[in-house]
Amino acid sequence: MKLISKLLLLTAMVGFLGLWSCEEWGEMDPPAGNQVFPKLELKGDYKFDDGFPEDVVLASYEGGVDPSIVTDEFKGKVAQFSEGYALFTNPLTEVKLQTGASLTMWIKTTENNLSGAIFSFTSEDHTERLFFSPNAWLSYNGGNGSYEANNPDNGPTNLLTPDEWHFLALSIKTDGYFVYVDGEKVLEETVTDFDFSHLVNAMSTLPYFYLGYGSDSQPQTMWIDDVKIYRNVITSKEIAVPAVSGGGEPYQFPPRGTVGYYPLDGAFVNSLNDLQDGELVTVETQATPSDFQEDEVRGTVWNQQEGWNGHPNGWAYTRFDNPLKGKTVEGGISVSMWLNPPTLNYWDQIFVLNDGTSKFWFNAIGYLGYNGEGGWFDCHNNNAENALAVGEWTFVTINMTESGFEVYYNGELKFTNEENAAYAGDLTDFSHVVNMFTTANDFFLGYETWWRAAPALVDDIFLGTRPLTEQEVKRLYADTEKANGGIVTNPSYLPDLFGYYTLDNVFDNAVNSGQSGELVTVVPQGTPSDFEADPVRGSVWRQQEGWNDHANGYAYTRFDNPLKNQIVEEGISVSMWLNPPVLNYWDQIFVLNDGTSKFWFNAIGYLGYNGTGGWFDCHNNNAENALVVDEWTLVTINVTNTGFEVYYNGEFKFDNESNAGYAGDLSDFSHVVNMFTSANDFYLGYESWWRAAPALVDDIYLNGSPLTAEQAAALYNATKK
């Protein structure tokens, strides 16, 4: 085994290399555990989707009302404070605060609400307190003195625009404070005339935390949501405005409640449940069969041929297991799909439900219909006013509720049962349609309604247990829009994508045709590194294990670095699908090496850097966070100016502060970020301290900003196969 031979070699050479190791590597590699980093920890997290926590005390000022939960058009369920307040046990009590404490929240307030506290920390008798108001009035009174800034009596700061939602983020530090609104810094003060450690200490010793109480002024109406309280000072990640999908739905891909996602990438399987599948059912033999085909815009898609009994080309339909069967729905369901009709067929169908009693259908002229339990309706029957564009891809979303329906094209509302629908029918209770979606065994493409199969290209079918909000429809459209043979163009989960290397038999950057890569052979390989067909992911890159004296030789792959000279404000992210045939503890998969500094990652989760500014090691000779052998894992690495975090399959795995087997002296991670924006190349299997580990590699993404947890999960869901 190579690991054993290397350890023996290192043991034999200790005496000879002792001086070198002390003067070079040893200077960058002191023993683990000597460094103490202030650890950012979330200690309080208050969402109001399910009401107030049970242990919260609600009360009101004279003439006011207790806080309540209301539904807001933008944020969904939020806490409303109409001259009332909420008392919480302080989640920072007895927590060691090394550098400070921080809060983030969504807030909306009425006009001239400047003096009433948004939040406060107080003693039991209220003789010591710290509060913050919508004017950025920060006030502290206690046994160690008093401090205040931005008292409204001295004028407004215009911190928050009235009657609009804002994302507020602030940190109180041992030497001052800062305030961000909607991701932008609005205040930062270094305080020299008062010891701010008293404020920090108060936040960890005072027993009570309030919302809507703490100053001597009775606040006016406020709405608050998603309150988070942190130990120590927040970073750019926590300051960034979280994605909010209308109606309070946080962003995710696919949207919450999606139970069916059929990518139609050469198979009929539901990617969210591989026990659910589909099949082509031939009724009359087709001369030109319905089949998968490569589309120049979207890559692999399904081509449904026009057909019916007696059609010259015959007739076949596609049957799918219905993922909505037996599901509990939230006010209705949603169906979305990409459609491209070669011609307009007024009567025959694309999407169909037919349970033997009731029928539901949609086709390319926008003909939406139902006939069955409870009655019937027709929209655009023999009316092409809302027809799809022939020869173009359109993303269609149908929301069905108990009171009606709405249909979107490319993220924009097109028609409803009350508007622009050419509507006819006697159905008054649309719950019959919803119930059909949750009881039918199957859904179909091109099956019998009153007619049969219309010609269409079809891609990416989604079925969900609730209607999508308008914002969710827009995001799903953006997340699934493609070009150049299936390359996503502007997904929300990769907002600053500069490099996408599909490794589909080429090294090219799919989002920049001027960038590519090459295999560089150092020692001729017996079995070369090469592209190969993988049964799960299709065309992938196989990197062969190698180093200078390896029996199989050694080669690495060089790629143009798409992040070079890019302006990145928050940091970067690298994501790739990896499948190791074995675990090699030392040799590498992903590498940056600019001749001065080196950055690497391999299949045991060994993440390291050595160069300008210092060094760090994670999981050096430690396989606790190793990838699973012979399984595909999506690895996402975020690097910011303050550290890094690593996700496996869209879930957080480790960072520089937790679960990392961490050692090092690097304190300023901007050196690593700068390396990503200055290096000419990145590599697979290149020299770090070691060489090439064996691995299958697919879909490498380089993004000019770190991904949020929601984006990392969305990338996994969007790219798993």
Domain boundaries, the chain: 41-242, 258-483, 493-719
pLDDT in tens, 187-216: 999 999 999 999 999 999 999 999 999 998
Beta bridge partners of 645: 638, 655
Q: What is the amino acid identity at position 680?
A: N
DSSP string, 591-646: EEE-SS-EEEE-TT--EEEEETTEEEEESTT--TTPPPTTS-EEEEEEEETTEEEE
Same fold, 41-242 and 258-483: yes
Tell me which fold the domain 41-242 belongs to: Jelly Rolls (2.60.120)
Rounded to whole angstroms, how far apart are CA atoms 630 and 423? 55
CB contact set of 155 (below 8 Å; sequence gap of 6+): none
Residue 593 CA to residue 261 CA, distance in Å, equals 40
pLDDT recorded at residue 128: 96
Residue 126 burial (CB count, 10 A): 13
Higher pLDDT, 396 or 247: 396
- Amino acid (one-letter) located at 213: Y
Whether residue 523 is predicted with pLDDT greater than 90 in this model: the reply is yes
How confident is the model at residue 2, as a pLDDT?
32
Among 581, 587, 574, 585, which Cα is nearest to 542's? 581
Please name every residue paired with 316 in a beta bridge, in sequence order, or none if there are none.
282
Taking only the tens place, the pLDDT of each residue in 9-55 is 333 333 333 333 333 332 333 333 334 446 788 999 999 888 899 89
**pLDDT confidence band for 433 (50 / 70 / 90):** very high
Q: Work out the pLDDT band at 71, boundaries 50, 70, 90.
A: confident
Q: How confident is the model at residue 245 (pLDDT cuts 50, 70, 90)?
A: low
Contact criterion met (CB below 8 Å) for 665 and 31: no
Distance CA 477, CA 472 (A): 8
Q: What is the mean pLDDT of residues 628-638?
A: 97
Q: Is the distance from CB of 691 to CB of 6 less than 8 angstroms?
A: no
Average pLDDT over residues 521-550: 96
pLDDT value for 383: 81
Task: Look at residues 466, 454, 436 and name the one whose alpha carbon lies nearest to residue 353.
Answer: 436
pLDDT reported for residue 335:
98
* Number of other residues whose CB lies within 10 A of the CB of residue 112: 11
How much is the pLDDT for 716?
95
Q: Which of 610, 628, 611, 633 lies closest to 620 in space, CA to CA?
A: 610
Q: pLDDT value at position 13? A: 35
> Closest Cα to residue 126, out of 117, 134, 135?
117
pTM over 0.85: no
Contact predicate 207/93, CB 8 Å? yes
Average pLDDT of the chain to the nearest whole number: 90
Non-local CB neighbours of 574 within 8 Å, separated by 6+ positions? 590, 636, 637, 639, 700, 701, 702, 703
| pLDDT reported for residue 23 | 32
Beta strand spans in 477-551 (E): 482-483, 487-488, 497-501, 517-523, 530-534, 538-543
pLDDT at position 70 is 84
- What was the pLDDT predicted at 8? 33
For the stretch 572-608, pLDDT in tens is: 999 999 999 999 999 999 999 999 999 999 999 999 9
Where b means 16+ CB within 10 Å and e means fewer, 331-359 reads ebbbbbbbbbbeebbbbbbbbbbbbeebb
Query: pLDDT at position 471, please?
Result: 85
For residue 69, pLDDT over 60 is answered with: yes
Comparing 231-245, 256-270, 509-523, 667-681, the range with the smallest average pLDDT is: 231-245
Cα–Cα dist 140/198, whole Å = 9
pLDDT single digits (tens) 86-113: 999 999 998 889 899 999 999 999 988 9
Place 248 in a pLDDT band, splitting at 50, 70 and 90.
Answer: low
In contact, 59 and 85? CB cutoff 8 Å:
yes
Q: Is 259 strand, coil or helix?
A: strand
Q: How far apart are CA 71 and CA 48, in angstroms?
A: 10
What fold characterizes domain 258-483?
A: Jelly Rolls (2.60.120)
May I ask the CATH class of domain 493-719? mainly beta
Whether 306 and 295 have beta carbons less than 8 Å apart is answered as no
Which pLDDT value is given to residue 350? 97
